[in-house]
Amino acid sequence: MSDALQRVSSSVLEKLTQPPRISRGEPGVRRRIWEIIGASHCSIIGTCMTIAELRKIARRTRFLADEQRYNDYHIHGLFVEAMSEDCAVSRAVQKHLDTKYEGAIRKAKSLDGDEAFLAYWESAVDNGFVPGAYWALIGHPRLPIGVDTRIFGDIHMMSHLCGATHRGEAREIAELRREKAEIARRFVALVAERNDEIARQRGEIARLSAAVRELTPLEEECERLRREARRDSRAELDAALRENAVLREDRARLEQRLERLSARRSRIDAPPPAPLPPSPPLEISIAAASEEPMDLCGRCLLYVGGRPRTVGRLQQIVEQHNGSLIHHDGGMEDSRAMLSELVRRADAVFFPVDCVSHRAVDAVKSLCESRGIPYCPLRSASASAFERAITELGRAEVAASS
């Protein structure tokens, strides 16, 4: 095997120094690869095909028993050697190249003359389409002799330039590999550091989450207490405001009552009128009663219960005596919650025991006793009973004030 490879190497090196010699076949028909003589086989295989493509053709055509045993250089040399004759391997390479560069072959088909061929080639070189253009031109039936030498020379120099570039790139690649290894080492260290930091932060998050879970019930309890405090404070404030309003009204009512009593006391303390001529005692008493009607001095009286048709008459009686009357039906029509408010406004309360509910009577007595307001139960719901009661109330106050 080593002798065969050595012969292949010598043959390849010899062909690299020779320009291509192209055999002229049938006019208008592209030349097959085995019809191209000289170093073009080496340049064609090296330029137009990859090592992977060569190994694939070698396996498919069974050109080599075990192509894995050969390195890339030997694979290249064996294929170059096989292109010199019409065989299964050269036909497979021909078919592969015609299929691979079908577009370039179609574009170059109509070329004719040195200028056209050179313009096509230079355009392909400038645009990086060297492999396709090289295969399309090297087998062209009308390729001028001078042009094929130019094309081969360009390919030959490109190989030298590629070799020099490769050496520089090899050094750069080695340096880049070292840099890559250093970057990879740093990256691994950074990843490990980041993972440690993530683990630490996750632990901190877990700790804070547990603390938040413990604080949540406390926050809910604090919020509940704040709501209760606001509610209690609001309720206490409202109650205080209501009590203050009640006290203000009580004070105003008492002040008005004091003024009325002071005025009445002033009239009582005034000098008595001139004595009248003597008359029988009974007649004097009646005359005095008729000449001095009772003055309620603007008092407000509350009448609870009774008959609705007599309430208007009772109001007239009270107004005739310089007072005002408010009425509550004892709970049958008016709301019982209003009874407390009406009692608070009254200077005295009256209720007929024969025409009011027991619950209303109990409520009236309780409210009057708690507020110190006098109340008077009436034997009947008649207007005369009410009028006698307010007269007796006036006499009792006059007696108390004197």
Per-residue pLDDT at 120: 92
Q: Is residue 255 part of a domain?
A: no
Range of the domain at 380: 293-401
- For residue 217, the SS3 value is helix
Residue 352, Cα to own-chain centre: how many angstroms?
72
Residue 13 or 367, more confident = 367
pLDDT tens-digit map of 169-190: 667 777 898 889 999 999 999 9
Q: Is residue 278 part of a domain?
A: no
Beta-strand pair 300-304/36-37: unpaired
CA 244, CA 280: separation in Å to the nearest integer? 56
Q: Is residue 98 part of a domain?
A: yes
- Measured N-to-C along each axis, helices 130-138 and 88-100 cross at an angle, to the nearest 10 degrees, of 120
Contact (Cβ atoms closer than 8 angstroms) between residue 111 and residue 120 = yes
Q: Is residue 277 part of a domain?
A: no
* Lowest-pLDDT choice from 65-69, 80-84, 145-149, 290-294: 290-294
Closest-CA residue to 389 (of 332, 325, 307): 325
CA 191, CA 185: separation in Å to the nearest integer? 10
Closest-CA residue to 143 (of 115, 172, 117): 117
Per-residue pLDDT at 168: 58
Q: Is residue 72 part of a domain?
A: yes
Q: Which domain-ending residue is among 128, 143, 158?
A: 143
Q: Which domain-ending residue is among 121, 143, 165?
A: 143
Q: Is residue 150 part of a domain?
A: no
Per-residue pLDDT at 38: 62
Contacts of 195 by beta carbon, 8 Å cutoff, 6+ apart:
none
Count of domains for the chain: 2
Residue 324: strand pairing partners: 300
Q: Is residue 56 part of a domain?
A: yes
CATH code: domain of residue 389: 3.40.50.1700
Per-residue pLDDT at 8: 47
Across 384-393, average pLDDT: 86
Q: Which domain-ending residue is among 120, 143, 166?
A: 143
* Lowest-pLDDT choice from 125-139, 303-317, 324-338, 359-373: 324-338
Contacts of 346 by beta carbon, 8 Å cutoff, 6+ apart:
300, 301, 302, 326, 373
Per-residue pLDDT at 395: 73
Q: Is residue 325 part of a domain?
A: yes
